[in-house]
Chains A and B, each alone.
Chain A
């Protein structure tokens, strides 16, 4: 009897009690967050310090006052040979790549997914397999032939050549197919009774229903497109077509060679600008982004 009352008196979950394990939990999380943040801090410090100091002593403990100067140099002064390679032009190209990739992928993917889910097609299974096999092989594996073909089509140094080959995989199609299949069947029936045709149903019902999905896909795809490296490196030789991420390769080569003082400040400003837009989007639209990302494994 005494035993029972004793066990009832000690609650299973102690509340508001100091526990060492809680301290450890927070310590682990804070350490993790700091390790994640540390490289960015080093970049910020060198971006605000005169290059001579960085060259001599490396990253220091205090921030300098050169940030706006380095920013101006990085964004508006041309580097490279052609004079077309400013931070601003690279920013513009990154934006075009990110937006073009995200929008292209979503529009094409939604159309294809709509056709596969909502229509009776004789070769539906064949089209399905044709499309979804592309999920298996990343662009990196077939990079050289893709380059050769893009070259044959005369698409080097064009936005089309930059964006379209990247769209050639079915991630968005697969995602929207899963989502459309979860939309209740009664909706189509109701729409058909009301006399809505397939186009009207798509634009007036399905697209508005998919808003959250579209937003989530857009964030993931924009980040993916903005961060592309290998393909832009191969396809753009004209400096006016460089994206920020592709520009990293140039920065690395410039920092390596020559006897003059390497332009650490400018390089780090460019690297920070290459990181900020996708990071900002992911942080601001966190809940959509996480939903979109984790939903894709279903």
Chain B
């Protein structure tokens, strides 16, 4: 807070009331409700609930399907995060280097930021259409019988491609602005010290981008875990069957379709703990200060 503030007693409370009441009703109440439901077993016909302790959690731990979904989510998150960061960094470095058309390139590479994930998934459905999708035909040329929604691996591949396509622009914007904020003097000094462009990149530019990259790492993990919901839901057309899905999608399928409130809530709580762990990790890293400015 500011040193010189106002001393009014009621005004700040009045100002805080809208925000606090909304988060109490629509954040803390649902979160508490999820934690509570995770200890209960819901009667499928709506006749009350019975306390079962940690049973929902232990059945999660024993479930082979939950393990499979967890494994897929980890692989998916790693792939999406890595490729969207790497491709965005490549494009940002090039866009920072060119002199002519820099602004046009920026526009052409960032507009996808505003495309909704389910619409991106819908585009994926068109491009990977089993019969005439342009990308399906392209893979067929190489002898890859691409089969969206029928083949586990092919569906997973399409999910990663669409999710990366959708995420590259966000990373690109951040990397480019990070690159442009590197002082000119530093660049010139590096140019004198090191004639090789790749050497300059790894020794000077890359470390200077580390804080941006770390921030983006967290953003991308969160994106792959949660925001890809729309991509996955459209690509499997709402019927996952034997197709891959992520943990968040399973929360939705089990709770909303399967009417298993207890099991779904237990999964929610597991995800909440995961996000909390991620945030604590983020704070610890920021404290260790991997930035130079």
Q: Which A residues have a C-beta under 8 Å from some C-beta of B?
A: 12-13, 21-22, 25-26, 28-29, 32-33, 35-40, 42-43, 46, 57-59, 108-109, 111-112, 114-121, 124, 127, 130-131, 134, 136-138, 140-150, 153, 164-165, 167-170, 173, 181, 185, 188-189, 192, 197-199, 201, 223, 226-230, 234, 245, 248-249, 251-253, 255-256, 268, 271, 274-275, 278-279, 281-283, 286, 290, 293-294, 297
Contacts and interface: CB of A to CB of B under 8 A. Distances in A.
A145 B97 CA distance: 49
A278 B117 CA distance: 13
Nearest to A281: B114
Contacts of A275: 114-116, 119
B157 interface: no
A25 B114 CA distance: 25
B27 A134 contact: yes
Given A36-B165, A145-B34, A281-B114, A127 B20 contact: yes
Given A127-B20, A145-B34, 15 more contacts: A28-B91, A29-B94, A42-B126, A118-B1, A137-B275, A138-B226, A144-B261, A144-B265, A227-B114, A228-B116, A229-B118, A234-B256, A274-B116, A283-B111, A290-B110
Given A46-B126, A168-B22, A252-B238, A28 B94 contact: yes
Contacts of A290: 110, 173, 177
Contacts of B240: none
- Chain B interface size range: 35 or more
B4 A185 contact: yes
Contacts of A201: 6
A29 B109 contact: yes
B83 interface: no
Interface string B223-235: 0001101100110
A29 B97 CA distance: 11
A283 B110 CA distance: 8
23 contacts: A36-B111, A37-B108, A39-B123, A43-B126, A111-B15, A112-B15, A116-B1, A120-B1, A120-B7, A121-B13, A137-B31, A145-B33, A148-B30, A168-B27, A185-B2, A185-B4, A192-B4, A198-B8, A227-B115, A245-B116, A252-B234, A271-B123, A294-B177
Nearest to B97: A25
B23 interface: yes
Interface stretch (B60-68, B71-79, B130-138): B130-138
A41 B132 CA distance: 16
B215 A249 contact: no
Nearest to A219: B114
Interface of B: 1-8, 11-13, 15-16, 18-20, 22-23, 25-27, 29-31, 33-34, 37, 87, 90-91, 94-95, 97-98, 101, 105-127, 129, 131-134, 137, 165, 168-170, 173-174, 177-178, 191-192, 197, 212, 215, 222, 226-227, 229-230, 233-234, 237-238, 248, 251-252, 255-256, 261, 264-265, 268, 271-272, 275-276, 279
B172 to A, nearest CB: 8
A111 B16 contact: yes
Contact of B23 (A131, A223, A255): A131
A37 B108 CA distance: 8
B19 A109 contact: yes
B19 A131 contact: yes
B116 A58 contact: no
